[in-house]
Structure 1
Amino acid sequence: MKRTFYTLLLLASMCSLAQRERPKTLIGNDPEDISGFGGVIFSFMPIDGDLSTMTGGGGAVLFDNTFFIGGYGLGLTGNHEFSQGGNDLTSSFGHGGFWLGYVIKPDDLLHMGVDTKLGWGSITTKNRGTNEEIGEDDVFVFNPQFFGEANIAYWFKINASVGYQKTIGVDNTYFDPGDFDGPTFGISLLFGWFN
């Protein structure tokens, strides 16, 4: 009888522990609410009126499979070549910084979201013949976007985005302030674990 009583008491204690709720926390109620991803980013935008391609990558921590915060880096593929005042010039452009976003209904096969990239970078101008650096601007880049996303596998997503890039700090003699502003289109291949 004693053995039966202690066995029932042990089972009741285990059941009460199993039913006990986790305490509420700021980030989430379960460690599984936190995941992450990283990937390759391709971005297309006009620079000085010409369509240009930027490539790079980024990664982020994903909270509750909806809100993410991380970092990114993008650089101009090749160089932007142009002529001005009889000189053949080339420029390079790169930036990196914070990447923030929100995913709407991430469990749906196709879903949408919003994100923004906030970064710092530089535009370097060189003489194409001598490769001598003749100008550099330190810039701040702000690029809010809307995106559509497809869940290909539990560890892989494809993301297509459209947005507008604003570049602040372009003040050299070779570019006008709006030459690095304009609509953007991007494709991202994201790998990670998505709860």
Structure 2
Amino acid sequence: MRALTLIPLLVLFSLPAFAKDSLIDMQNARSGGYGGPLVKYGEVGSETAIMLGGEGAGTFTTGNHSLLIGGAGYGLINEPEWAPDTALDFGYGGLLLGYTHRPDAVVHVETKMLLGAGAVSLDDGATEEKGSFLVSEVSIGAEINLTDFLEVGIGGAYRLTTDPSVDGITDDDLSGPSVVLSFQFGQI
């Protein structure tokens, strides 16, 4: 009978030994945020595309893991000539989700996913045709903590879009890889 009363006590005192690891440790979690500019270099169709944008997010960090949720937007800063005397312009933005492994390390890896929408236009001087599209973009990059308030990163991204319903532009023209240079100001 005495053994039956000891079993619940043994189970109760051994529970901390069976605590499991989790992605978010709420007892040691911290929150922060960042914002900053990005430059992307890639192609739209067969033309060089240089995009400037910005992103900002709230961060939730515990141990070696940091999750981010925020928003981002990008637009062309050059005007590729799409056809003779026809200029192309486009931009996109949306919800940004991400994960950083070991954010307190001097050099660390960050992955992000953007889900959103965008707009594109072709202007030949006399007429302008506009369209819109849905976009998803994944990126991965290495970041360096220059100070406790500034991170600089370089990486790659791949953008995938739907058809914008503009004559002469397809989803394949707007989709593609790019090289990304980022600057993040804030406390991760």
Q: If the length of structure 1 is used for normalisation, what is the TM-score?
A: 0.77
Alignment of 1:1-195 (within 5 A): 28-29=26-27, 33-64=30-61, 66-83=66-83, 88-127=85-124, 129-130=125-126, 132-133=127-128, 135-194=129-188
CA distance in 1, matches of 2:25, 2:102: 18
CA distance in 1, matches of 2:59, 2:163: 32
The 1:35/1:27 distance shift into structure 2, 3 A limit, reads farther
Shift, 1:48, TM fit: 1.2
CA distance in 2, matches of 1:142, 1:57: 16
Shift, 1:27, TM fit: 8.2
Name the residue aligned to 1:4: none
Shift, 1:44, TM fit: 1.4
2:170 counterpart letter in structure 1 = D
Identity of aligned residues (%): 27
CA distance in 2, matches of 1:176, 1:45: 17
Shift, 1:161, TM fit: 1.8
CA distance in 2, matches of 1:27, 1:44: 37
Would you say the 8 A contact 1:61–1:70 is kept in 2?
yes
Structure 1 gap ranges (5+): 1-25
Would you say the 8 A contact 1:171–1:177 is kept in 2?
no
Cα deviation code 1:144-188 (max 9, x no counterpart): 111101000000001112121111123321113300111111011
Q: Based on CA coordinates, which of the two structures has the bigger radius of gyration?
A: 1
Structure 2 gap ranges (5+): 1-23
CA RMSD of aligned residues (A): 1.7
Q: Which stretch has the larger CA shift, 135-144 or 165-174?
A: 165-174
2:171 match: secondary structure: coil
Would you say the 8 A contact 2:163–2:170 is kept in 1?
no
